Structures are given as C-alpha cells and as structure tokens.
Amino acid sequence: MIKKELRAWETISRKTILRFSKFLTVESHAIKLPDGQIIPDWPWLIIPNAAIVLAVTEDKKFLCFRQTKYAVDGTSLAPVGGMLEPNETSLDAAKRELLEEVGYEAPDWIDLGSYILDPNRGIATMYLFLALNAKQVAKPNSDDLEDQVLLFLSRNEIKNALKKGEFKILAWSAVVALSLNYLSALENQEAG
C-alpha cells in the first residue's frame, strides 16, 4: 500500500455574512486547498452543537417521541436531545435534556461518539449517548415547540421502526443504530 501524506485545507480568512440568532450564523471563508488553489467564497454554517440521547428504562423500554418537525414531512420518531448551552459539556447537556424533556434520570451513560453533520460546511457536532436504567424523577419541563407524544418501545419495536425509516433525521437514526449495536455487543460479551 502506498502511503500518501494527506494535507488539510487552510482557512485564509472568514467573514460573517449573517448572524440570524443564536441558532444560525453564516460565514464566507476564503480557503486554500492542498494543491494551492484558493476558493474565495466557501460557505460556512454555524449552529449550536447538540446532545442526542436514547434512554432505556429499568424495565428495558426505549424512550422516544413521535413528533412533528418543521423540516420533516409528516411525523418522525425522535430520541431526546437538544443544543448545548455555552460552557456546558456534552454529557451535562444530555443529562439536562433527558430531565427536561421527559423527567428521567439515568445512572449509566454510554458515550457513543461525536459526529459532525457536514464535514465541508461546519454546521454542528452531534454528541450521541445511550442512557441505561433510566427512571422518572420529575415531570417534564420542556420548552420544545413541536407537538410530541412520549412512547415506550420494546427493543423489537424500536429496531423495526429504525428499519422502516421512522427516525427521519440522520443523527436520530445513528443514535438508535449505535445503541442497538452496543447493547447486542454487550449481550454477546456477557454470554460468551
């Protein structure tokens, strides 16, 4: 195998084009590619990073919502999640969102990784978590704008929903798939 040294793109300058709100900033970057080519107007989007949580209750039910989203046609299944506050760690945001959105806490947290939504336009990083042995400790105190209904799905139900494409957002599908994979690997390890 031939090894080639890979070189990163270089940001030469950046200019804010639009600061719409805390939810969206648009920049124009001038960038230099590894071959020396200059692109003077590369679009760059900034939205807050978010924590996405698939929670499993003590009796092995998966918590998720059936909800509406402005950019989604119809309804979608959705795990708990929301944007990180300034200076908040991803795990703290995940715990806060679980408590706010459904009134649950969990003693066992699995970090499933962080993933950039668009590698060439910035956008945001999604921090994915699996929360195990969740139990209700309070009433939900959510400021979500969407209509939503909390569901308690069995493992087969959530697996089938994932296969049927009922989680219509990529980060949501990813947290469900990674969680199911983690739980299967854990069971195989315990069995063998």
Instruction: Check residue 144 and give its pLDDT.
Output: 67
- Do 64 and 106 belong together in one domain? yes
The parent domain of residue 106 ranges over 50-116+125-191
Does any domain span residue 40?
yes
Instruction: Check residue 146 and give its pLDDT.
Output: 67
- Do 23 and 78 belong together in one domain? no
Local confidence band at 153 (pLDDT 50, 70, 90 cut-offs): very high
Residue 164 sits in a domain of what CATH number?
3.90.79.10
- Do 34 and 64 belong together in one domain? no
- Do 90 and 153 belong together in one domain? yes
Q: How far apart are CA 74 and CA 69, in angstroms?
A: 8
In this predicted model, what pLDDT tens digit does every residue of 99-150 receive, in sequence order?
999 999 999 999 999 999 888 888 899 999 999 999 999 998 877 666 889 9
- Do 40 and 70 belong together in one domain? no
- Do 93 and 150 belong together in one domain? yes
This prediction has a pTM of 0.91
- Do 26 and 73 belong together in one domain? no
Dihedral through CA 171, CA 173, CA 178, CA 180, nearest 10?
Answer: 150
Give the closest residue to 103 by CA, choosing from 150, 58, 171. Answer: 150
**Half-sphere exposure of residue 24: CA atoms within 13 angstroms, side-chain side:** 5
Local confidence band at 155 (pLDDT 50, 70, 90 cut-offs): very high
In this predicted model, what pLDDT tens digit does every residue of 32-82 receive, in sequence order?
999 999 999 999 999 999 999 999 999 999 999 999 988 899 999 999 999
Instruction: Check residue 145 and give its pLDDT.
Output: 66
Does any domain span residue 4?
no
Q: Which range has the worst mean pLDDT, 3-7, 22-26, 49-53? A: 3-7
